Amino acid sequence: MPNRLASEKSPYLLQHKDNPVDWYPWGPEAFARAKAEDKPILLSIGYSTCHWCHVMEHESFSVPATAAVMNEHFVCVKLDREERPDVDKVYMTAVQAMTGQGGWPLNAFLTPDLKPFYGGTYFPPDSRYGRPSWTGLLERLAGLWKERRADIEKDAESLARAVTAYASAADEARGRPEAEASETAEKNLRASFDAENAGFGEAPKFPMPANIRFLLRRHARTGNADARTMAVETLRAMTRGGLFDQLGGGYARYSTDHAWRIPHFEKMLYDNAQLVENLADAVTVSKDPELLRALERTAGYLERDLRAPGGGFYSAEDADSLPYDEPHGHKAEGAFYLWRKNEIEAVLGNGAPAFCARYGVVEGSNALADPHGEFTGKCVLYDKDPGALEETAAAGMRGKLFAERAKRPRPSLDDKILSSWNGLAIAGLARAYGATGNDRYLGLAADAASFVRRELSSPDGKTLWRRWRDGERAINGMADDYANMAYGMLALYEASFRPQDLAWANDLAMETIRRFAADGGGLFQTGQNDGGELFTRSIENHDGVEPAPSSVLADVCLRLYDLTGREDYSRYANETLERFGPSLSTRPLAMPFLLAAWDRAAGKTATLIIAGVDLPGGKELAGVAREGLRPGLVFAAFKEGDRAALAKTAPIVSEMAVGARARAYLCVERACGLPIENADELRERLLS
């Protein structure tokens, strides 16, 4: 019989609805039972495309004897970390403090008042990998709960206090970042740069879009060639590797090896959304045709495979799928993406040798390692030798193999729509339009914004919900939902010049500060009246695979301040830089997204406004503004009929005269020069 998770909307929770475990969703019913029966809570956190979550579900949670032990001794709770990152952050911090490591699945053991006393990640059904068996651990903890209850509660209180201090950044020193922080970050990246394979550090290698974003902006501000080279070469190496889906476009989660060859095959919206922005910026500074193709194919992947009816973007595709060649087989990682050489020969015929030479296909397997036997006799496609097959011919062959692959069982789709990740997608696609002029990207960004406005926000746009799925919106929006959507809408305005896009970006930024701002800068992940069951609220202090909302909003506020003149934007950005300043000085790569904001704040900034952008010369002036990556420039434009609407948000435009031709006004420190009507003159002024 299905358990309580059957009535949930989260794809991750629904994956566990038929477990014999008596699962509860996170909420008051589970908490009340734990207190009534005086049992500890077993909180198991994961997400729908998590490979080791699938493994543990199959090995343990689906086994009746194991489930019986769980049900007897614990109140068992399942939680989707993507729906409740605030809960995940608190207990991940606790487990990392206890064990020195984290990851998913995250299994935390809590007292009935939700204080953690033990935890870990994956546990096998039998003792191996240096880890205890799951049932053995459960029985030991159940015994300790009965025999040493007072000690457990004392330790839990102590750990909760430590987590509270850390999660809220309560005791951190304050001060502006050192002037050399950006230079130090660049040097640190240079020191860890893999000159042979690109990327940073050793395996496993993650894309880390915030690092690439910082490097490209650093190059744009200083002209530093090393910063540009590291960013462009990393994007190029990732795109040539198996990390990039050579047939369908889009990037997998990470590379298991140092050469980007063998990916962990899940595809996440937040990765691909940010990488679209990275690629757009890289194309802007490099004009590299290979990266332009990667941009086109990644945006095409988002449109084809992750776009929902109505314009929003789904969250992810799984790494695992059913094998196409074993009708009764079990799901395996990468099954959808792997090829035998004879299968390629059957599809491509005489073209197969050249294709195999270019894409590294051999007899047997081309995997660098295969600890789980998933690559036996099969190959990952990677662009080993681009010179072996001309691109036009390669594209035609990729199309044939893509059509053949489409007949296979697809990986499962996490079809929930998150405001936060859609904000990143809107920003990436808007930047793609700015880099290429392709109207399709602008349309995709605008459609996603319309979906969030229609399905995930209140009529006035000032309240966001976090998740939409199957016609239901739920969960109060968190700091990353508001901050990322403000970031996306500001990028969309710079592409669309629609006053309503800037107005919504402004409203969302103000609401983010009102709901989530901590005293002294930074953002709590949850609002004052949300997440009240937790013993603490957290402030994210790390730009990881997703940027911290504090960092995103600092960037937004610095740019909006130049347009709106609102002092609360300047105050938030400066307080946030002071809160995290010592960290940026000593560990600058902990927050590279925020560091790019600091780089901007510390340098010379300007505001460019094109009055009458729809008049003769307007298109040329806008084109000049988009020719380069200019992180210190805020860009606005209006049609004469839109000036009054735009002035409500950006008063600076109210006095700008419109003539027979479009006019560009370049303003530095809120002092605007004489209007410019000639595109070459504007180009010269911007370069100076």
- Whichever domain contains 678, its CATH number is 3.40.30
What pLDDT was estimated at residue 372?
A: 79
In a domain, 198, yes or no: no
In a domain, 38, yes or no: yes
Q: Residue 402 contacts by C-beta under 8 Å, 6 or more apart in sequence?
A: 247, 248
What pLDDT was estimated at residue 374?
A: 86
Is residue 657's pLDDT more than 90?
Answer: no
What is the chain's mean pLDDT, rounded? Answer: 95
What pLDDT was estimated at residue 179?
A: 86
Q: How many domains does the chain have?
A: 4
| Secondary structure, 3-state, 139-150 | HHHHHHHHHCHH
Side chain identity, residue 541: N
Q: Residue 425 contacts by C-beta under 8 Å, 6 or more apart in sequence?
A: 269, 273, 276, 302, 313, 445, 448, 488
Is residue 171's pLDDT more than 60?
Answer: no
**9-23, 296-310, 362-376, 420-434: lowest mean pLDDT where?**
362-376
In a domain, 172, yes or no: no
What pLDDT was estimated at residue 528?
A: 83
What pLDDT was estimated at residue 687?
A: 87
CA–CA separation, 87 vs 667, rounded Å? Answer: 44
What pLDDT was estimated at residue 174?
A: 86
Domain of 356 in residue numbering reads as: 337-407
**306-320, 549-563, 648-662: lowest mean pLDDT where?**
648-662
In a domain, 202, yes or no: no
- Measured CA angle at 605 (ends 601, 610), to 5 deg: 140
Domain final residue, candidates 373, 407, 441: 407
Task: Give the rounded distance of the alpha carbon of 657 from its chain centre.
Answer: 41
In tens, the pLDDT along 128-169 reads 877 899 999 999 999 999 999 999 999 999 999 999 988 876
Q: Do 488 and 536 reside in the same domain of the chain?
A: yes
Domain final residue, candidates 167, 183, 199: 167
Q: Residue 103 contacts by C-beta under 8 Å, 6 or more apart in sequence?
A: 52, 121, 122
Is residue 54's pLDDT more than 90?
Answer: yes
In a domain, 615, yes or no: yes
Q: Do 31 and 160 reside in the same domain of the chain?
A: yes
Task: Give the rounded distance of the alpha carbon of 127 from its chain centre.
Answer: 35
In a domain, 220, yes or no: yes
Mode of pairing for the β-strands spanning 106-110 and 254-255? unpaired
The beta-strand segments (E) located in 260-331 are 263-264, 267-268, 316-317, 320-321
**228-232, 637-641, 678-682: lowest mean pLDDT where?**
637-641
Q: Do 301 and 378 reside in the same domain of the chain?
A: no
> Residue 255 belongs to what H/E stretch?
strand 254-255
244-276 burial, b for 16+ CB within 10 Å, e for fewer? bbbbbbbbbbbbbbbbbbbbbbbbbbbbbbbbb
In tens, the pLDDT along 446-502 reads 999 999 999 999 999 999 999 999 999 999 999 999 999 999 999 999 999 999 999
Q: Do 225 and 306 reside in the same domain of the chain?
A: yes
Is residue 111's pLDDT more than 60?
Answer: yes
What pLDDT was estimated at residue 170?
A: 59
Backbone phi, psi, residue 109, to 5°: -110, 125
Q: Do 391 and 438 reside in the same domain of the chain?
A: no
Q: Do 652 and 576 reside in the same domain of the chain?
A: no
Full DSSP string of 404-448? HHTTSPPPPEE--EEHHHHHHHHHHHHHHHHHH--HHHHHHHHHH
In the predicted model, what is the mean pLDDT of residues 302-315?
98
In the predicted model, what is the mean pLDDT of residues 246-274?
97
Virtual CA dihedral for 69, 72, 74, 75, nearest 10 degrees? 120
Is residue 328's pLDDT more than 90?
Answer: no
Q: Do 139 and 24 reside in the same domain of the chain?
A: yes
What pLDDT was estimated at residue 458?
A: 98
Q: Do 381 and 493 reside in the same domain of the chain?
A: no
Is residue 202's pLDDT more than 60?
Answer: yes
In a domain, 190, yes or no: no
What pLDDT was estimated at residue 166?
A: 86
CA–CA separation, 345 vs 342, rounded Å? Answer: 5
CA–CA separation, 673 vs 665, rounded Å? Answer: 6
Q: Do 373 and 423 reside in the same domain of the chain?
A: no
Q: Do 549 and 662 reside in the same domain of the chain?
A: no
- Whichever domain contains 60, its CATH number is 3.40.30.10
In a domain, 440, yes or no: yes
What pLDDT was estimated at residue 176?
A: 87
Q: Do 159 and 215 reside in the same domain of the chain?
A: no
Domain final residue, candidates 390, 407, 424: 407
Full DSSP string of 535-566? S---B----SSS--HHHHHHHHHHHHHHHH--
In the predicted model, what is the mean pLDDT of residues 214-221?
95
Neighbours of 556 (CB within 10 A): 29
What pLDDT was estimated at residue 659?
A: 86
What pLDDT was estimated at residue 517?
A: 95
Q: Do 456 and 568 reside in the same domain of the chain?
A: yes
Higher-confidence residue of 688 and 652: namely: 652
pLDDT band at 85 (very low <50, low <70, confident <90, very high): very high
Q: Is the pTM of this model over 0.75?
A: yes
